[in-house]
Amino acid sequence: MDDLLIRKALSSDIKALSNLAKTTFYNTWIHENNESDMRVYLDQTFSDEALRKQLLNPNIFFDLLFFRGDLVGYLKCFRGANFKKQMRSK
């Protein structure tokens, strides 16, 4: 169990979180999208700036999962208002 670490995301994690989010979303959804649309979506949704804004939002939080020091997963949660309202405020 010492190999696993779960902790709250920090601003210093943005680049690694962006890379992981883009990779996992791409691998999951590319078969239902075209490459051009996918790139636009990834660049808008998982850019460093978009994630930075979300990290600053007190109603959105990210937990990160590390295995042997490598970021291998994340969890994004919303507090309070519903998901659609949160996404409109980004």
Order the strands of the 60-67 sheet from edge to edge: 4-8, 60-67, 70-78
- Reported as a pLDDT band with limits 50, 70 and 90, residue 66 is very high
90 pLDDT above the threshold of 60: no
Q: How far apart are CA 56 and CA 50, in angstroms?
A: 10
Of 47 and 79, the one with more pLDDT: 47
Domain boundaries, the chain: 4-88
- Class (C level, CATH) for 4-88: alpha beta
d(CA 86, CA 90) in angstroms, rounded, equals 7
Query: Which pair of tokens denotes residue 4?
Result: 């696993």
pTM: 0.83
Tokens encoding 76: 């994004």
